[in-house]
Copies of this chain bind each other. A is one copy, B any other.
Amino acid sequence: MCKTTGFQDCLHYVFDYETPKTLVIPSIRVGCVFRFTQLLVVLYVVGYVCVVQKAYQDTDSVISTVTTKVKGFAFTNTSDMGPHLWDVAEYVIPPQGDHSFFVLTNMVVTPEQTQSRCPELPNPSTTCVDDCDCIEGHSDPRGNGIQTGLCENYSTTVKTCEVLSWCPHEVDTKLPERALMSAAENFTVLIKNSITYPKFNIHRRNILPHINSSYLKRCEFNRTSDPDCPIFRLKHIVSEAGEDFQDMAVKGGILGILIDWSCDLDWWAKKCYPKYSFRRLDNKHPVNNVAPGYNFRFVKYYKKSDGEETRMLIKAYGIRFNVIAFGTAGKFGIVPTIVNLGAALSFLSLVPVVTDWFMLTCMKKRDFYSKQKVSYLTEDTESMPMGSTYGTQ
Contact = CB atoms under 8 A, between A and B. Distances in A.
A23 B73 contact: no
Interface residues of A, number: 149
Interface in A146-199: 146, 164-166, 186, 190, 192, 194, 196, 198
Interface stretch (A79-87, A126-134, A242-250, A264-272): A79-87
Contact of A65 (B17, B26, B254, B338): B254
A212 B63 contact: no
9 contacts: A16-B24, A17-B27, A18-B22, A23-B375, A24-B376, A55-B339, A69-B291, A95-B298, A346-B349
Contacts of A212: 287-288
Contacts of A356: 19
A205 interface: yes
Contact of A15 (B31, B115, B304, B310): B31
A314 to B, nearest CB: 9
B145 A73 contact: yes
Interface string A308-347: 0010010000001010101000000011001111111111
Contact of A390 (B24, B88, B298): B24
Nearest to A382: B368
A100 B102 contact: no
Given A23-B19, A213-B290, A335-B49, A392 B375 contact: no
Interface string A348-362: 011010011001110
A107 to B, nearest CB: 13
Interface of A: 11-12, 14-28, 30-32, 34-35, 44, 48-49, 53, 55, 61, 63, 65, 67, 69, 71-73, 75, 82-85, 87-90, 93-98, 100, 102, 115, 139, 141, 144-146, 164-166, 186, 190, 192, 194, 196, 198, 205, 207-209, 211-213, 216-217, 254, 256, 258, 260, 279, 281-283, 286-291, 294, 296-305, 310, 313, 320, 322, 324, 326, 334-335, 338-347, 349-350, 352, 355-356, 359-361, 366-377, 381-382, 384, 386-392
